[in-house]
Chain A
Amino acid sequence: MSKKINLTLKIWRQKNQLTPGKFETYQTHGVDTDMSFLEMLDVVNEKLTKEGKDPIAFDHDCREGICGTCGAVINGQPHGPMRGTTLCQLHMRNFKDGETLVIEPWHARGFPINKDLSVDRSAFDRIITSGGFISVKTGQAPDAHTLAIPKDTADTAMDAAQCIGCGACVAACPNGSAMLFVGAKVSHLNHLPQGAPEKKARVLNMVTQMDKEGFGNCSNAYECEAACPKEISVAHIAKMNKDYRAS
Chain B
Amino acid sequence: MLDPKIPTGALKDKWTNHKFNNKLVNPANRRKYKIIVVGTGLAGASAAASLGEMGYNVESFCFQDSPRRAHSIAAQGGINAAKNYPNDGDSVRRLFYDTIKGGDFRSREANVYRLAEVSNSIIDQCVAQGVPFAREYSGYLDNRSFGGAQVSRTFYARGQTGQQLLLGAYQALMKEVGKKNVILHPRTEMLDLVVIDGVARGIIVRDLITGKIESHAADAVVLATGGYGNVFYLSTNAKGCNVTATWRAHKKGAFFANPCYTQIHPTCIPVHGDYQSKLTLMSESLRNDGRVWVPKKPKDSRPAHEIPEDERDYFLERKYPAFGNLVPRDIASRNAKEQCDLGRGVGETGMAVYLDFKDAIARLGAENIKEKYSNLFDMYAKITGTDPYKTPMMIYPAVHYTMGGLWVDYNLMSNLPGLFVIGEANFSDHGANRLGASALMQGLADGYFVLPYTIANYLAQVKPNAKEILARGEFKEAEAQVNERIKKLLSIKGKTTVDEFHRKLGLLVWEKCGMARNEAGLKETLKLIPELREQFWKDVCVLGSGEELNQALERAGRVADFLEFGELMCLDALERQESCGGHFREEYQTPEGEALRRDDQFSYVAAWQFNAVGQPPTLHKEELKFEEVHLAQRSYK
Contacts and interface: CB of A to CB of B under 8 A. Distances in A.
Given A66-B73, A91-B383, A148-B140, A136 B65 contact: no
B158 A158 contact: yes
A89 B382 contact: yes
Interface in B206-232: 209
A145 B121 CA distance: 12
B304 to A, nearest CB: 17
Contact of A114 (B157, B167, B499, B549): B549
Contacts of B132: 154-155, 157-158, 161, 188, 192
B600 interface: no
Interface string B107-141: 00000000000000101111111101111111111
B177 A129 contact: yes
Contacts of A43: 275
A130 B138 CA distance: 34
Contact of B277 (A49, A63, A155): A63
Given A61-B239, A133-B171, A138-B449, A115 B549 contact: yes
A151 B135 contact: yes
Interface string A186-225: 0011001011000000000000000000000000000000
Contact of B385 (A39, A67, A91): A91
B537 interface: no
B69 interface: yes
A89 B67 CA distance: 22
Given A49-B552, A65-B379, A141 B275 contact: no
B204 interface: no
B263 interface: no
Interface stretch (A30-38, A96-104, A234-242): A30-38
Contact of A154 (B68, B134, B238, B276): B134
Given A136-B129, A143-B124, A55 B134 contact: no
Contacts of A49: 497, 541, 543, 552
A138 B73 contact: no
Interface in B171-207: 171-172, 174-175, 177-178, 184, 186
A46 interface: yes
Nearest to B170: A128
B280 interface: yes
Given A154-B132, A161-B164, A115 B548 contact: yes
A49 B497 CA distance: 7
A67 B73 contact: yes
A158 B175 CA distance: 21
A65 B129 CA distance: 24
Given A64-B379, A115-B548, A137-B53, A161 B171 contact: no
A138 B53 CA distance: 8
B452 interface: yes
B163 interface: yes
B273 interface: yes
B131 to A, nearest CB: 8
B66 interface: yes
Which of A49, A53, A143 counts the most chain B CB atoms within 10 A?
A49
Interface residue range, chain A: 35 or more
B136 A151 contact: yes
Given A57-B551, A121-B66, A132-B174, A194 B139 contact: no
A151 B382 contact: no
Interface in A53-106: 53-55, 57, 59-69, 82, 84-85, 89, 91, 93
A150 interface: yes
A38 B277 CA distance: 9
From A42, A82, A85, A139, name the one whose CB has the most chain B CB atoms within 10 angstroms: A139
Contacts of A85: 382
A50 B379 CA distance: 33
B385 A68 contact: no
B71 interface: yes
A39 B162 CA distance: 25
Contacts of A50: 495, 497, 541
Contact of B128 (A35, A42, A142): A142
A134 B171 contact: yes
B278 interface: yes
Contacts of B73: 62, 66-67
Given A114-B209, A132-B174, A144-B141, A66 B130 contact: no
A11 to B, nearest CB: 15
Contact of A194 (B65, B127, B140): B127
Interface string A178-192: 000000000011001
A64 B543 contact: no
Contacts of B551: 55, 57
Q: Which of B83, B126, B160, B452 has the most CB of A within 10 A?
A: B160
Interface of B: 46, 49-50, 53, 64-69, 71, 73-74, 83, 85, 121, 123-130, 132-141, 157-158, 160, 162-164, 167, 170-172, 174-175, 177-178, 184, 186, 209, 236, 238-240, 272-273, 275-278, 280-281, 378-379, 382-383, 385, 448-449, 452, 495, 497, 499-500, 541, 543-544, 548-549, 551-552
8 contacts: A64-B281, A114-B549, A133-B171, A133-B172, A134-B130, A138-B50, A144-B83, A194-B127
Interface of A: 2, 15-16, 32, 34-36, 38-39, 42-43, 46, 49-50, 52-55, 57, 59-69, 82, 84-85, 89, 91, 93, 114-115, 118, 120-122, 124-125, 128-130, 132-145, 147-151, 154-155, 157-158, 161-162, 164-165, 188-189, 192, 194-195
Given A63-B277, A66-B74, A128-B170, 14 more contacts: A34-B273, A49-B552, A55-B543, A61-B71, A64-B278, A66-B73, A67-B73, A125-B66, A125-B184, A133-B174, A134-B128, A136-B129, A149-B139, A161-B157
